[in-house]
A and B are shown apart, each in its own frame.
Chain A
Amino acid sequence: MDKHISVPFTNEVVKELHAGDYVYLTGTIYTARDAAHKRMYEAIGRGETLPIDVNNNVIYYLGPTPAREGQVIGSAGPTTSSRMDKYTPTLLDMGLKGMIGKGKRTPQVIEAMKKNTAVYFAAVGGAGALLSKCIKSAEVIAYDDLGTEAIRRLTVEDLPVIVVIDCEGNNLYETATKEYER
């Protein structure tokens, strides 16, 4: 089912999203991938406040290519989520509501998603040029020294994603593959 929703969002919205839904996201999201996750995780360990308030927010696992003159951002597709799995339950406990990436998640992440009412979306991997067109502004807001891995605030308009794992733990990767297995 196609749905248009705005980000950030709350538990009420997350509960309405089901594995298999095709969703268009509009609003503000943040990028973070390997190095930024590691840094945030270590900061939490030291009791420091994070450069972004994750509560009710969505993180896009993305390290874009540099923008050309006149472009908002370069190619901007998802990276493999599993590398963030080690750090994700902690962020979910802090109120993170959604993640955009590609690929499988660990049972620990799925448990933390159920406990905290969060959703995992996939964007189409290898469609970075197309996805960049849905990004209307991009601004580095933390960890500038990490280059492509810095944390960016993005304004997105109708960013197309698919609900892969919903807050009840339904997992489209498992159900859909079985359906077409021969």
Chain B
Amino acid sequence: MRTIHTDVITKNIREMCIEANLYLADDVKNRILSGKEKEESALGKQILGQLEQNMEIAAQDEIPICQDTGMAIVFMNIGQDVHIEGGPLEDAINEGIRQGYRDGYLRKSVVADPLLRENTKDNTPGIIHYAIVPGESIEITIAPKGFGSENMSRVIMLKPADGEEGVKNAVLETVRLAGPNACPPMVIGVGIGGDFEKCAILAKKALTRNLDTPSPLPHIRKLEEELLDEINKTGIGPGGLGGRITALGLNIETYPTHIAGLPVAVNICCHVNRHVKRIL
């Protein structure tokens, strides 16, 4: 049994919110740079060059990479031998978000009620997914998510007979519909299986997986490669202004499902695919 104080959790989440919004992880960064070399469209190359410059300015002047600093998505993997003291965990997480968004000069983009729409002015609450796992540590992933791309995401309840072809069509159609709205080059997270909400969470999780770590399942790995290839043939390109580099990467997560179902979720993210992980 190990004891972790909520103050430690708050402090780490505060720092992670700021870090995620100023620096992209190397996997995403490297794909923007290699994309610039590969892009055939001159305008597309120029746009990818601007994204490169943008990352440099963001890091140097501590200006967020994008003005949509997102809603804070939090994955908490809590070891079952951890005891948390210091007050309610959820409050500690939201306090970390509050401090991070305040001290990091990040945008407050959350409204308290989806219909009345009054801004909470501190970017809380976050969206928190808890999992109880073996061990005595806590793994925290913070993934601030912009809504230009989130709005273009979909859950589609396919039939088993639709099979792999159905999954491919669902993903490609979602990407085509997203087009320039999702700030391409995009990163795509796909969840296959589970039920209605499980596949959506899988898709979000897929976005937090390193782009250079393909699925361990051979048939899924092949599907990831084929889909990325087909997405980059749509012609959407950087900024949606034509070109080859429409997506930087695509990750798929799967889960067992019902004999009658084939749920698919496509979570669209832009090139500002932010995620920071820490283990306490």
Interface set of A (CB-CB < 8 Å, partner B): 22, 35, 62-68, 71, 74-77, 79-80, 82, 102-104, 122, 124-130, 132-133, 146-149, 160, 162, 164, 172-173, 175-182
Q: Which of B51, B64, B66, B234 is A177 in contact with, Cβ under 8 Å?
A: B234
Mind listing 29 A-B residue pairs with CB under 8 Å? A63-B67, A64-B107, A65-B105, A65-B106, A67-B105, A74-B63, A74-B105, A75-B65, A75-B69, A75-B107, A102-B183, A103-B182, A124-B54, A127-B50, A127-B51, A129-B54, A130-B54, A162-B241, A173-B180, A175-B242, A176-B41, A176-B43, A176-B235, A176-B241, A180-B40, A180-B235, A180-B242, A180-B244, A182-B233
- How close is A86's CB to chain B, nearest CB, in angstroms? 15
Contact with A along B239-267 (1 / 0, CB 8 A): 11111100000000000000000000000
User: Which single residue of chain A is at the shortest CB-CB distance from B22?
Assistant: A129
A-B pair count, CB < 8 Å, reads 162
Residues of A within 8 A of B105 (CB): 65-68, 74
Total B residues in contact with A, Cβ cutoff 8 Å: 49
> Taking chain B's interface residues, is the majority helix, strand, or loop, or is none over half, making it mixed?
loop
Q: Are B180 and A65 in contact (CB under 8 A)?
A: no
Residues of A within 8 A of B68 (CB): 63, 77, 79
Residues of B within 8 A of A127 (CB): 50-51, 53-54, 66
Residues of A within 8 A of B117 (CB): 35
Given contacts A180-B242, A182-B233, contact A102 B67 (CB under 8 A): no
Q: Which of A65, A66, A133, A179 is B57 in contact with, Cβ under 8 Å?
A: A133
Q: Are A126 and B119 in contact (CB under 8 A)?
A: no
Residues of A within 8 A of B109 (CB): 63, 148
Q: Are B244 and A129 in contact (CB under 8 A)?
A: no
User: Which single residue of chain B is at the shortest CB-CB distance from A178?
Assistant: B235
Q: Which residues of chain B from 59 to 77 have any CB-CB distance to chain A below 8 Å in the complex?
A: 61-69
- How close is B146's CB to chain A, nearest CB, in angstroms? 8
> Is B58 in contact with chain A by the CB < 8 A criterion?
yes
Residues of A within 8 A of B62 (CB): 68
> Is B169 in contact with chain A by the CB < 8 A criterion?
no
State A23–B204 Cα separation when bound (angstroms). Answer: 37
Q: Are A65 and B67 in contact (CB under 8 A)?
A: yes
Q: Are B67 and A77 in contact (CB under 8 A)?
A: yes
Among A68, A102, A129, A149: residue with most chain B CB under 10 A = A129
